[in-house]
Every structure is written in C-alpha cells, then in structure tokens.
C-alpha cells in the first residue's frame, strides 16, 4: 500500500510533471499542472480500487452492474480530491508552485456523456455505490463527442460539437486486452434444437476504465466505457491501390458507433445508429459480465445469486433477449429456464411516462439489425402470454417492438423514481402488466450525492454544517436534522444567511467576468435550470416574468422585491418549440434588462451551455428553485433536491419528487401552486380551458398580447406566434390554467423574501430536512429491495 510511504502530494505532482509529462515547472502549462495533480490524486484512488477489487473476489460477493447509455459525470478532479480529503493539501501544494487551485480545477473538461437527469442520476449512483462499498460496475459508451456545446447567436441556440477528449483526460485506463466482437445483421440458421446467428457485420468494443472513488477513499468501483473499433482497422489492399479513403473506411465506420451521444432526450427518432449503440453497449457489457462470472463461479444457473443487472431506462432493454440468446443458443440451457435466469438477474428503472419518450422500434429495422433477437422477443412474448392467458397487450404491436413492455416482462423488479411517478406507472403505461405482476413495481425515489452537491460545490455551507454538527452528515445525510435546533439561534441563522449571500456575490462576480452580466446580489436569485421541454414549462416562467414586468412599469415607485430570473438549459436540436422558448427568453431579457424604469427590480439572464459544472456554480447561490412542470409529467427531478439541500426553497407543483420534498421540508417552507396530476387530467377534458383561463386573468392576457404584438421582436412581430398560438389553443401542458396560481405563489415569494430572517429560516429548514434525498439512501433501497446486494464496508 502507498499509505505509509506515500510521498506528499507536492512531491507526487512534481514527479508526474517530470516523468509522466516530461515538463519542468518553468515550462509547464496549466494543462500539465492539471494532469500532474490528477495523476497524483489518481495514484491514491488506484490503491483503493485494487483493494476493493481484491476484496470482492475474495468474498465472492454479489456484484451490481448498472447499464446506462448515459453517465453525466462532469469534472472528476475535485470529486477525487474532496473524497480523499486532500483539499487543503492540494491547495498548498499548488501554491508552492504559484498555481491557483481553482484555475487548475477549471482546466478540466466537463465530461457530458449524458443529456440530463437520467445521466446525472447514473453518475450520482456510481459515487454512492463506492461510498457504500457495494461491488459494482457502471457500463456505458465512451462517446467521442458528448452533449453539444450551446451558444446563442441573436438569442437563438446554436449547437457545436463537444470535444471533451480534445484535451488530455486523466481518468481513464485503456484496456486493449478487453475487447469483444459485436455483430449486426446477417441471418439465422436452425440445426435441430439449436439456433445460430450469423451476423453480417462486426465491430469491436474496447474497454476504457475509470475508477470511481467513494467518500474517504474507502472503496472504488469501475466505470467501464466501450469504444468502437474496426476488427481489421486498415484495408492495405485498397491503400496500395491508392484508394486512401477506402483504406481508412472500416475504421471510420466502426468508430461512428461510439462517435456521438444522441442529443434528444425525449423523441425516439428510430435511427438505426441509436439501436446499434444500444446493442453495442449491452452486448459488450453482457460478455464482460459473463466472462467475469465464469472465471469465478461457472454454473450459469447461479447467475441471479451473484449478478444483478440494472437497466437504466429501456435503452439497454436488449439485455433480456441477448442474455437468453447466450444462455439458450450458445450454452444450451432450455428456453424457459434461460428466460427465468435472465429475469431474475435483470431489473428495470422507468424514468418517464411521456408517450413520445417510450422507446419502440419498427420491426423491419429491428429484424434487419438483430434477426435472432426479434425471434427471441416473439418467443418471450408467447411464453409470457401462455403463462398469463388473460393478457391482451403484446410487446409486438403495430409493427413495433415495445421496449417498455419487453423490459417489464424481462425484469424481476421494475422501479419508478418518485412515489407519485411509481403510482402513475401502475395506472397508466404498465396498468395491465402491473395487474398481472402486482409485486413487480417498486418505488425508489431518486437522490443526489451530497459529496458533489454540497461538500464540494458549496464549501461555505459545508463548513458551517461541519462546524455545527461535525462531519457525520457527509455519508449519513439525514444527520442534517441535527441542524434544526441551531435554526432557532439568531447568530447561527445570520451565519447561514451570510453563506448564501457570499455564494451570491461569488456568482455575481463570475457572471460579470464571464458574461458581462452585472447584477445586485441582494436580488432574489430565482433559478430554473434543466433541459428545455414544454412539460417543464420554462414558458410559464417567462410569461409570469413578463406579466410582472408590465405590472412594475404600471407602478414603478412601489416597493417591489428585486428579482433576478436565471435560466439555463439546452434544447434538443430538432425541438423547434423548445428553441423558440429559449429565443423568447433571450429576446425578452434584452428588452426588459434595458428598461430603466424596471431594471433595478427585475433582470433576466439565460446562461449558455448548461452543464454539470455550471450547475455546481448556480445551485449554491440560488434563493428560489423553480420546479414548475405540469403535474404528472416530471418523473422525479433531481435538481429540485440539490436546491433544497443547498437552501433554496421551491416554488413548485405537486409533481415528481417535489411531493416528497414538500413532505420532508414542511409545507410552510415550500411555495406550492398548480393543479394536481388528477386535476390536470380532468382539466384537459374541459373545452377551451386555455381560453377560459386567459379570459379570467387579465395579467396573463396582457403578457400574451405583448408577445403576440412583437414587443420583444419588433423586427419580426410574428416570431412567437407559434408559442402564443399554442398557449391560446390546445395548451396541452396547461400553462394558462396554472398561470394565476403561479402568479399568486410568486407574490408570496416576494413578500416572504422581504423578511430576510424569515427567509433564512425557511432556507435552513430546507437544508436540515433534505437529508433523505441522498443517493446513498436510494442505493441502499435498490440493494435491499431489488438487487439483494451487500456492502463490503458495513
């Protein structure tokens, strides 16, 4: 072990700078320092990693495998430093070389291998699995290009390719010896009882490993990402004929499979490459899992007792048929037994009920790419129908393969991500399957890792908490409730308030420097940061902002509570309505921020290129958390938890985990508005509901009117007619119907914020009562109710 003879971090940095990167301190650029520090930290992580791996082998413990098309991990250096408790040492070591700690951290690219909530949840889970000491692997794809970079030109979103591997990356270990052939297409042959698949095309999946270290470095698991390569990377014959493009073609073709993350997180576009990616990830992961199982245990009938495979949404749902194919076709286990082994090994998390996001594949495409799997799916479907004669819904309907149904049938547990979402699963998409298998659906409400989302991102608040109740909260977040008595102490509450104010000053300074956007840190920092979607209703927020602006203009000398409306988030490149909302917010910001009559009371900013790093800046500085989705549509939300934990009360609907947040922090510390999920369903039946809501609320009518007449787009008055037309027409997401109550809640926020001490109390109760939203709690729930896995640290 390094422990006893561990060189100081300073020596270790210098050693790596010299011998790993061939630089002396005089000539090193920032990136060299970042890499040298990363390697110095990584060395210590590797020690924990080996120890964990050996312990897992020695104990023969059950292993958990988390299969996900997305891991939105962000930067890793600070995470490693914080978890190893090296912050002070790293700062002083760099200071000795006259390097600033924050500059070095900021040099690391943000790994955006995910779209939003689903990918970030996977990253929080990996960190919690390591903190808990549950033997686990994450399996994903090593996309060359993560989620696109967003900028604004004339207020409009412009997408550029993301290049996280453009700089050196410190955290991965290439494993050239770990490669599997993944086939596509071809045909199937029958030899008596046995069936063989003969793929027409093959690519190789190569492993790249990133260690994921838990709190205090007690344990580290592996994130294994697959990269596409050609089996015969270079066509020498073509090259010798002078056809250089053809010579390089096999490699280029194979690499496209892991080239880019699909940037659309709701609409399934039925793209062949996406299905290939899904099978590429799943096929490689299963081969790897079975190789490891075989080396250690052998008897495949014992698979469910030693292996738990979690499907992060339906994206890796092909795991069911693929596992059966291996067990049955390749290892000769009878079909029904193969199916039972697979089901007892697999479980599935559903992350959305939006019909447009439920994956299904055209059978022609599916059958062409995976001819054996589509046969197996039919056999699964028949077997399921035979075992459940009352069943009416097949997983093969309308010439489509329904991945949700397949996942449900092939999983021993299916979980929702909040209490409300789980109940809705039972009464909507999975109603019939739930009635057939009433014990299968379970709830595991999402959580967030407190190491990244409090300790690392909010050092001032973390410091105050640790000084008050000790360090116990870091891996036992419900200990935060011990803060409650302190809230009654006026001196302590002042300090809590000052932490928030300092965080706001820091954010204001950064916005000034980075974006030339200057704000008064005494305004309410009202923040909505998330992907753009109609159901998330950023347009409800901007409508209320516009109405509020008009009201201030009517009476500019009244005692308005100054407010900064902060937005950030990306729209899928093909989601034109969402892109219009971004443009409207930017256009409205330009007009409203320039209004001398109102701009000390109201400002708007849409910060570009929202990512994990930007969230880490914004969350600690927020006063108010906007969680305003149409009830029934947001499966859980996890940003909502980060804000509550960091002392930003929510203005929100009874949707997703908002419901549970409100239950925990107390109704008096939460600004509730809007219809319930049930009321939403009823309201949709009411004829002209939007028109009626507009007629009943002159503020709403006026806000829509100024948008329609082109106040924010004078050169092109009709620019937002698509938005106003939608809201005045079908208004499926009930923006108009919820407007008046949202307005009311926002005015309550204004009044409450005037009492700064009262506000600090509310914020502090949010912190003290958010401990339940740790992803450690969530993971322990999965271990107990779904995986039957044990911690090797307890």
Task: Give the interface with ligand 26V as residue ranges (CB under 6 A).
Answer: 115-118, 121, 262, 264-266, 268, 274, 313, 351-352, 357, 417, 446, 634-638, 656
Instruction: Using the minimum distance from each CB to ligand 26V, give the nearer residue, 118 or 762.
Output: 118
Q: Which is catalytic among the residues 530, 537, 539, 769?
A: 530
Taking the complex as a whole, the smallest distance from the CB of residue 171 to ligand 26V amounts, in Å, to 24
Could you give the count of Cα atoms lying within 13 Å of 550 in the half-sphere of its Cβ?
18
CA-CA-CA-CA torsion for 745, 750, 751, 753, nearest 10 degrees? 120
Q: Is 397 helix (H, G, I), strand (E, B) or coil?
A: strand
Q: Among all chains, which residue has been given the structure tokens 């420097």?
A: 513
> Catalytic residue among 384, 536, 583, 719, which?
536
Give residues with Cβ within 8 angstroms of 429, minimum separation 6: 350, 353, 358, 404
CA–CA distances in Å: residue 72 to residues 116, 361, 726: 7, 25, 33
| 650 catalytic per annotation | no
Provide, rounded to whole angstroms, the least separation between the CB of residue 51 and ligand 26V.
31
Instruction: Tell me whether residue 531 is one of the annotated catalytic residues.
Output: yes
Cα 132 from Cα 620, distance rounded (Å)? 25
642 counts as catalytic: yes
Angle between helices 698-708 and 735-754 (to 10 degrees): 110
Q: Which residue is nearest to ligand 26V (CB)?
A: 117
Active-site choice (99, 531, 548, 603): 531
Using the minimum distance from each CB to ligand 26V, give the nearer residue, 80 or 116: 116
Q: Is 784 a catalytic residue?
A: no
Residue 314 or residue 737: which is nearer to ligand 26V going by CB?
Answer: 314
* Residue 172 Cα distances to 207, 210, 291, angstroms: 10, 5, 22
Closest to ligand 26V by CB, 150 vs 638, is: 638
- The CA distance from 550 to 481, in Å, is 42
Residue with tokens 């910060």: 607
**At closest approach, how far in Å is the CB of 359 from ligand 26V?**
6
CB of 293 to ligand 26V, least distance (A): 28
- Nearest approach, Cβ of residue 272 and ligand 26V (Å): 13
Q: DSSP of 64-106, one letter per residue? A: EEEE-S-EEEE--HHHHHHHTT-HHHHHHHHHHTT--HHHHHH
Residues 6+ apart with CB under 8 A from 732: 534, 684
Identify the DSSP state of 629.
P
Catalytic, 684? Answer: no
CB nearer ligand 26V, residue 447 or residue 649 = 447
Dist. CA 310–CA 134, nearest whole Å: 14
Provide, rounded to whole angstroms, the least separation between the CB of residue 262 and ligand 26V. Answer: 4
Q: Any catalytic annotation for residue 530?
A: yes
Residue with Cβ nearer ligand 26V (227 or 422): 422
Rounded least distance, CB 512 to ligand 26V, Å? 32
Work out the angle at residue 284's Cα, subtended by the Cα atoms of residues 402 and 178, and round it to the nearest 5 degrees.
170
Interior angle at CA 756, CA 750 and CA 761, nearest 5: 105
DSSP string, 157-191: EEEE---TTSS--SS-EEEEEEEEEEEES-EEEEE
Instruction: Give 384 or 421: the residue with its C-beta nearer to ligand 26V.
Output: 421
Q: How far is the CB of 282 from ligand 26V (least distance, A)?
A: 15
**Tokens found for residue 673:** 């508005």
Q: How far is CA 27 from CA 10, 91, 94, 128, 349, in A?
A: 17, 20, 15, 39, 50
Token pair 């967030």: residue: 448
Task: Please pick, among 638, 650, 724, 767, the residue that the annotation labels catalytic.
Answer: 638
Which listed residue (23, 42, 315, 351) is catalytic?
A: 351
Q: What angle do CA 563, 567, 573 make, to 5 degrees?
A: 160
Distances in whole angstroms, Cα of residue 761 to Cα of each of 100, 495, 623, 770: 35, 11, 12, 14
> Is the Cβ of residue 281 or residue 694 nearer to ligand 26V in the bound state?
281
DSSP annotation of 733: T
Q: How far is the CB of 372 from ligand 26V (least distance, A)?
A: 24
Q: How far is the CB of 789 from ligand 26V (least distance, A)?
A: 20
Distance separating alpha carbons of residues 95 and 100, to the nearest angstrom = 6
Closer by beta carbon to ligand 26V, 118 or else 464 = 118
Nearer to ligand 26V, 530 or 565 (CB): 530
**Strand, coil or helix: 116:** coil
Q: Which residues are catalytic?
A: 351, 530-531, 536, 638, 642
């Amino acid at each position: 072990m390094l422990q006893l003879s561990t060189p100081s971090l300073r020596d270790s940095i210098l050693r790596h700078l010299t011998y790993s990167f061939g630089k002396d301190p005089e000539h090193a650029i920032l990136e060299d320092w970042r890499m040298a520090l990363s390697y110095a930290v990584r060395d210590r992580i590797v020690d924990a990693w080996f120890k964990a791996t050996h312990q897992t082998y020695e104990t023969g413990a059950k292993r958990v495998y988390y299969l996900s098309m997305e891991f939105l991990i962000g930067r890793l250096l600070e995470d490693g430093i914080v978890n190893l408790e090296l912050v002070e040492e790293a700062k002083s070591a760099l200071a000795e070389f006259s390097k600033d700690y924050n500059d070095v951290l900021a040099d690391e690219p943000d790994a955006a291998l995910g779209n939003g909530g689903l990918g970030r949840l996977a990253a929080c889970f990996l960190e919690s699995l390591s903190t808990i000491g549950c033997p686990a692997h994450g399996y994903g794809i090593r996309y060359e290009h993560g989620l696109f970079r967003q900028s604004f030109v004339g207020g409009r979103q412009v997408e550029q390719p993301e290049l996280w591997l453009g700089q050196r990356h410190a955290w991965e270990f290439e494993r050239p010896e770990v490669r599997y052939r993944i086939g596509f297409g071809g045909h199937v042959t029958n030899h008596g009882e046995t069936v063989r698949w003969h793929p027409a095309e093959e690519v190789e999946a190569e492993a790249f490993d990133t260690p994921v270290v838990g709190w205090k470095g007690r344990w580290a698991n592996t994130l294994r990402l697959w990269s596409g390569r050609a089996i015969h990377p270079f066509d020498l014959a073509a090259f010798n004929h002078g056809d250089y493009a053809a010579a390089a073609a096999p490699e280029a073709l194979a690499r496209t499979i892991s080239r880019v993350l699909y940037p659309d997180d709701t609409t399934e576009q039925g793209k062949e490459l996406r299905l290939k990616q899904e099978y590429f990830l799943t096929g490689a992961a299963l081969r790897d899992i079975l190789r490891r199982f075989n080396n250690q245990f052998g008897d495949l009938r014992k698979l469910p007792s030693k292996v738990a495979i979690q499907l992060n949404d339906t994206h890796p749902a092909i795991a069911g048929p693929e596992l059966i194919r291996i067990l049955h076709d390749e290892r000769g286990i009878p079909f029904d037994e193969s199916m039972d082994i697979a089901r007892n090994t697999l479980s599935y998390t559903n992350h959305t009920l939006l019909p447009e996001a439920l994956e299904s594949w055209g059978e022609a495409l599916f059958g062409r790419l995976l001819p054996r799997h589509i046969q197996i799916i039919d056999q699964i479907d028949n077997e399921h129908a035979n075992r459940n004669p009352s069943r009416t819904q097949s997983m093969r309907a309308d010439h489509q393969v329904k991945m949700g149904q397949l996942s449900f049938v092939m999983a021993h547990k299916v979980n929702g991500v909040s209490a409300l979402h789980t109940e809705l699963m039972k009464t909507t998409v999975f109603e019939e399957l739930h009635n057939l298998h009433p014990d299968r659906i379970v709830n595991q409400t999402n959580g967030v890792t407190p190491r990244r989302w409090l300790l690392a991102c909010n050092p001032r608040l973390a410091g105050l908490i640790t000084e008050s109740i000790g360090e116990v909260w870091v891996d036992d977040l419900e200990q935060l409730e011990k803060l409650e008595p302190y809230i009654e102490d006026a001196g302590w509450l002042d300090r809590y308030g000052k932490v928030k104010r300092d965080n706001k000053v820091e954010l204001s300074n950064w916005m000034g420097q980075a974006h030339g956007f200057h704000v008064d840190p005494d305004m309410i920092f009202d923040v909505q940061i998330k992907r753009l979607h109609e159901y998330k209703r950023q347009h409800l927020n901007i409508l209320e902002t516009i109405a509020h602006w008009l009201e201030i203009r009517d009476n500019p000398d009244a005692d308005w509570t100054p407010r900064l409306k902060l937005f950030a988030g990306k729209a899928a490149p093909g989601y034109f309505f969402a892109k219009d909302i971004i443009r409207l917010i930017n256009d409205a910001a330009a007009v409203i921020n320039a209004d001398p009559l109102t701009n000390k009371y109201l400002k708007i900013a849409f910060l570009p290129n929202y990512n994990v790093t930007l969230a880490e800046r914004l969350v600690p500085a927020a006063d108010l958390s906007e969680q305003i989705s149409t009830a029934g549509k947001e499966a859980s939300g996890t940003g909502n938890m980060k804000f509550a934990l960091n002392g930003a009360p929510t203005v929100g609907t009874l949707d997703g985990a908002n419901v549970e947040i409100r239950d925990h922090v107390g109704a008096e510390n939460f600004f509730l508005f809007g219809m319930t999920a049930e009321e939403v369903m009823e309201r949709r039946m009411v004829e002209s509901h939007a028109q009626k809501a507009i007629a009943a609320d002159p503020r709403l009518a006026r806000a829509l009117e100024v948008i329609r007449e082109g106040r924010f787009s004078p050169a092109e008055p009709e620019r937002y007619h698509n938005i106003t037309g939608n809201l005045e027409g079908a208004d499926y997401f009930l923006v108009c119907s919820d407007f008046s109550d949202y307005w009311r809640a926002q005015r309550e926020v204004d009044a409450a914020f005037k009492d700064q001490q009262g506000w600090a109390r509310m914020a502090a109760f949010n912190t003290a009562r958010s401990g339940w939203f740790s992803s450690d709690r969530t993971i322990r729930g999965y271990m107990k109710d779904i995986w039957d896995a044990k911690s090797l640290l307890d």
